[in-house]
Amino acid sequence: MHLARFPRVRLAHLPTPLEPLPRLSEELGVDLWIKRDDCTGLAGGGNKTRKLEFLLGDALEQGADTLVTQGAVQSNHVRQTAAAAASHGLACEIILEERTGSTAVDYVGNGNVLLDRLFGAGIRRVPGGTDMAAELEKTADQVRARGGRPYVIPGGGSNAVGALGYVDCAREIVVQADELDLPIDRIVTATGSAGTHAGLVAGLAVMGADVPVLGIGVRAPKEKQEASVLKLARETAMLLGRPDAVTDAMVVADCGYVGAGYGLIDQGVVDALTLAARTDAILLDPVYTGKAMKGLIALARAGRFTSASGGETVVFLHTGGAQGLAGYHGELDAML
């Protein structure tokens, strides 16, 4: 795929480990492995670091001096963007959408929000349901008005440039699996802003690696989520010079585990967090990996990952986000 053609700034500790989860595997009856993208390093790690390597590379090539982005109040993407900006002497302006409606002290000021402030980002809050694309342009115009050179990054870093980070991750997973003599039957990941899911699909398709990806939705309904992922996966494949590589059948999302809505937790999420922590000492987050693991557990127990020929080997992509646990302290404490 020759990703060296694209501007890139090395931010992540790569390759991240691909490790077995022996106790959780025994609990679920599945050969479960974990791709540790919570260990990418930047600001505590997470999946957005891979995307930011290409986004920041593009920003610097364009001569930008300010990164502008947005996310929900406890956004992992915003935290990592603020850190990437700080590490390269750029300003960072972020817009936090009050998407969940929570006014809990921990949620609005602890966890990722505290880290955003620590990295020196400028923070502006807007109500849930705000047109975030318009707010990004508004902030970019304000940066230009004071003489700055903004580079706008969409929520989640999810455009074709950002998705290149997960094209690279797809390559990395295949290389590691080959080194381990590990035939992977399926990759499971949280799917939200679509960049991680789309990048994996595009990368695997362009390589010709026949490994299906199952996205567990954290926000949108199935039809909308799959359409978003498919569109971005095709845009990413086009950027790689293979516009016909991605087919409709390659994009699958199960959005039955969202619960009451984005960023809203329930007992199933807390049970998933607890099981991962108390079996293989894995810290998940309440918004993305907690819901993805909630779905994986339910599907495993329903026999989704087994067939007449035996159980599947499943790789769970850990996209990070444990820094957000502190923002949910009150709710978690009541459910644990």
On the CB side of 176, how many CA atoms lie within 13 Å of its CA?
19
Contact present, 73 and 103 (Cβ < 8 Å): no
Nearest in space to 302 (alpha carbons), one of 254, 248, 267:
254
**310 phi, psi to nearest 5 deg:** 125, -175
Contact present, 4 and 288 (Cβ < 8 Å): no
Nearest in space to 325 (alpha carbons), one of 287, 275, 277, 271:
287
| Residue 92, strand partner residues | 67
| Annotated active-site residue in 75, 102, 158, 228 | 75
Catalytic site includes residue 87: no
How many CB atoms are located within 10 Å of the residue 61 CB? 13
- Radius of gyration, CA atoms only, the chain: 19
Peptide bond into 17 cis (omega under 30): no
**70 phi, psi to nearest 5 deg:** -145, 165
How many CB atoms are located within 10 Å of the residue 99 CB? 22
Give the sign of the dihedral formed by CA 176, CA 181, CA 183, CA 186. negative
Torsion angle of the four alpha carbons 157, 163, 168, 171, in this order, in degrees rounded to the nearest 10: 140
Token digits of residue 131: 């047109």
Nearest in space to 314 (alpha carbons), one of 17, 24, 13, 16:
24
Judge residue 15's burial from the number of C-beta atoms within 10 Å of its C-beta, 0-12 exposed, 13-18 middle, 19 or more buried: middle
Torsion angle of the four alpha carbons 199, 248, 76, 59, in this order, in degrees rounded to the nearest 10: 50
Task: Show which residues are catalytic.
Answer: 75
